[in-house]
C-alpha cells in the first residue's frame, strides 16, 4: 500500500511538471532585428537598477551596489548623502522616483536594502530626500520592512504614483514564501500605499484590521520588479517573478490577494511541485503568465506615438534571456509577443518612457540605452 501511494504521488508530480513546462501562448516572435537600434546614453554602470527623468537630458539612475547618479547631457555624477546600503544578493540600492511636483520641491524617493537595527541581515526600505544639485539633504526614512534576514533574494522593489497623492512601492517575499506573502501581519510579498509624506491613507484596505500592517495595499506576491499605471485606464499594472515558470502580470486592486504561494503556474527550481492549485476562491488570476519564465524586470507602456505601430503596447525586460519583450494587449488579453533588442549582452534591469517619448532600457554591465526604431 505504501509503495502504491508513492507511485501515485510520483505520477501526479510528473504530470503536473510536464503540464507546467509547456509554453503558454502566444509564443514569442523574433522580428527583423535590423529594424531596431540602440543609442548608448551613459555607460559604466554595473547594475543600473532604477531610473527616472527630471527632464529630457537630466535623469537619475541607481547602481545596485549603492551609488546614485545624476546624468546630465550624458555625463554621470555621483550623488552624495545616501544612507548606508545593505548589499547582498539581489539587494542593494533599488528604485528611484522623482516627486510628482519635483520642479517645485526637489523631492525624490528611493528604495534600498538597509540595516538600521544593528543585527544581521537587511530588508527593503523606502526613503524621501531633497535633491540639491548632486547632494541629498533631509533624508527621511518613510518605511522599513521587518524583520531583517540574511537571505539575499526577493527585495522587490518599484515605486509609482497615482493622481490622488499616493505612492505605491513593492517588497518581495524575502525568500520566506511560506510565512510572509499570505500574512497581513508581516512584511514581504506585498504592495504598499502611502501618502506622499509617508503617512498612512485612512482608506487603505487593512487600516484598523486587528494586527494587519496599515500600509499594505495588496498581498500574495512573490517578487514584484515592475509596476506602472496604465496610461488610459489608470489601473495599476504589476509584474512579478515566478519560481520555475509562472512569472505574472497582474492588475492590482485594493485589498486583493494574488495567491502566492497557495496558487501558482510555476514549480520549484528543483522540478518538484509547489502546489497543485492554479486557482482558489478569493485569489486573483494574473492577466498573463510566462511559462517558461523570462525573469521580468522593468515595465513601460509606449504612449507617445514615436514608434508608429507600437502606441499602447507594453514592454518588459527579460533578465533571463537578455531581450526586451513587446506585448500587444487587447481587452486584457495578450495577443502578440515579440523579442525586441534580442541578446543585448546583459540582463535588462529597467525600462522607462522618457520625456521625448522614446523608450530607455538599462542593461547590466553595459549602461542605459535609447531605443531607436529604424
Residue whose grid cell is 514581504: 188
Is residue 13's pLDDT more than 70?
no
Q: Distance between alpha carbon 215 and the CA centroid of its chain, in Å?
A: 18
CA distances from 58 to 39, 42, 45, 94, 115 (A): 16, 12, 16, 19, 31
Mean pLDDT, all residues of the chain: 93
pLDDT 10s digits, 135-166: 999 999 999 999 999 999 999 999 999 999 99
Catalytic option among 154, 221, 239, 241: 154
Residues ≥6 apart with Cβ < 8 Å to 38: 341, 344, 361, 369, 370, 371, 372
DSSP assignment string, 258-308: --TTTS-S-B-TTS--S-S-S--TTBPPPSEEESS---EEEEEE--SSSSG
DSSP assignment string, 162-221: -SSSEEEEEE--TT-TTTSTT-TTS-SSEEEEEETTSPPPTT-TTTTSTT--TTEEEE--
Sign of dihedral through CA atoms 289, 157, 120, 78?
positive
pLDDT 10s digits, 65-121: 999 999 999 999 999 999 999 999 999 999 999 999 999 999 999 999 999 999 899
pLDDT band at 190 (very low <50, low <70, confident <90, very high): very high
pLDDT 10s digits, 321-336: 999 999 999 999 999 9
pLDDT 10s digits, 19-38: 444 467 899 999 988 888 99
CA distance 346 to 148: 30
pLDDT 10s digits, 209-259: 999 999 999 999 999 999 999 999 999 999 999 999 999 999 999 999 999
| Nearest Cα residue to 359 out of 74, 97, 39, 1 | 39
Q: Are 247 and 289 in contact (CB under 8 A)?
A: yes
The most distant pair of C-alpha atoms in the chain lies apart, rounded to whole Å, by 74
| Nearest Cα residue to 153 out of 279, 269, 317, 27 | 269
Confidence at residue 23, expressed as pLDDT on a 0 to 100 scale: 65
CA distances from 149 to 89, 119, 249, 341 (A): 12, 9, 27, 37
Is residue 17's pLDDT more than 60?
no
Confidence at residue 212, expressed as pLDDT on a 0 to 100 scale: 98
Q: What are the residue ranges spanned by the domains of the chain?
A: 35-48+295-374, 79-293
State the CATH architecture for 79-293. 6 Propeller (2.120)
Q: Extract the C-alpha cell encoding 49.
A: 537598477
Residue whose grid cell is 542593494: 92
Q: For 2-11, 84-93, 180-189, 348-357, which range has the lowest pLDDT when averaged over its residues?
A: 2-11
Is residue 8's pLDDT more than 80?
no
Residues 293-306 have a mean pLDDT of 96
Q: Catalytic: 154?
A: yes
Q: 129-133: which pairs have CB atoms within 8 A and are 24 or more residues apart? A: 129/81, 130/105, 130/106, 131/60, 131/70, 131/79, 131/106, 131/107, 132/106
Amino acid at each position: 500500500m505504501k509503495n502504491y501511494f508513492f507511485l501515485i504521488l510520483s505520477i501526479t508530480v510528473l504530470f503536473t511538471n510536464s503540464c507546467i513546462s509547456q509554453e503558454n501562448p502566444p509564443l514569442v516572435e523574433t522580428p527583423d532585428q535590423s529594424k531596431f537600434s540602440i543609442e548608448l546614453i551613459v555607460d559604466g554602470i554595473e547594475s543600473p537598477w532604477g531610473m527616472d527623468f527630471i527632464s529630457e537630458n537630466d535623469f537619475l539612475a541607481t547602481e545596485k551596489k549603492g551609488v546614485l547618479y545624476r546624468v546630465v547631457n550624458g555625463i554621470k555624477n555621483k550623488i552624495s548623502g545616501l544612507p548606508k546600503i545593505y548589499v547582498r544578493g539581489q539587494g542593494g540600492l533599488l528604485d528611484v522616483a522623482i516627486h510628482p511636483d519635483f520642479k517645485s520641491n526637489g523631492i525624490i524617493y528611493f528604495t534600498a536594502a538597509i540595516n538600521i537595527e544593528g543585527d544581521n541581515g537587511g530588508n527593503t526600505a523606502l526613503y524621501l530626500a531633497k535633491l540639491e544639485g548632486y547632494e541629498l539633504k533631509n533624508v527621511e526614512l518613510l518605511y522599513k520592512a521587518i524583520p531583517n534576514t540574511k537571505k539575499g533574494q526577493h527585495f522587490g522593489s518599484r515605486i509609482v504614483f497615482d493622481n490622488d497623492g499616493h505612492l505605491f512601492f513593492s517588497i518581495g517575499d524575502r525568500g520566506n514564501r511560506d510565512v510572509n506573502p499570505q500574512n497581513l501581519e508581516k512584511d514581504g510579498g506585498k504592495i504598499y500605499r502611502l501618502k506622499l509624506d509617508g503617512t498612512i491613507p485612512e482608506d487603505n484596505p487593512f487600516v484598523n484590521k486587528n494586527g494587519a500592517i496599515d500600509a499594505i495595499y495588496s498581498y500574495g506576491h512573490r517578487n514584484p520588479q515592475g509596476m506602472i499605471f496604465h496610461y488610459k485606464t489608470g489601473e495599476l499594472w504589476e509584474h512579478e517573478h515566478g519560481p520555475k515558470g509562472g512569472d505574472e502580470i497582474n492588475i492590482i486592486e485594493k485589498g486583493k490577494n494574488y495567491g502566492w504561494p497557495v496558487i501558482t503556474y510555476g514549480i520549484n527550481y528543483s522540478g518538484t511541485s509547489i502546489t497543485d492549485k492554479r486557482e482558489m476562491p478569493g485569489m486573483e488570476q494574473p492577466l498573463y503568465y510566462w511559462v517558461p519564465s523570462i525573469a521580468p524586470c522593468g515595465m513601460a507602456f509606449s504612449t507617445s506615438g514615436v514608434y508608429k505601430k507600437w502606441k499602447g503596447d507594453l514592454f518588459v525586460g527579460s533578465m533571463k534571456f537578455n531581450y526586451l519583450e513587446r506585448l500587444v494587449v487587447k481587452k486584457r488579453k495578450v495577443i502578440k509577443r515579440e523579442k525586441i533588442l534580442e541578446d543585448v549582452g546583459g540582463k535588462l534591469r529597467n525600462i522607462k518612457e522618457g520625456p521625448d517619448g522614446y523608450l530607455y532600457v538599462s542593461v547590466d554591465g553595459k549602461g542605459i540605452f535609447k531605443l531607436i526604431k529604424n
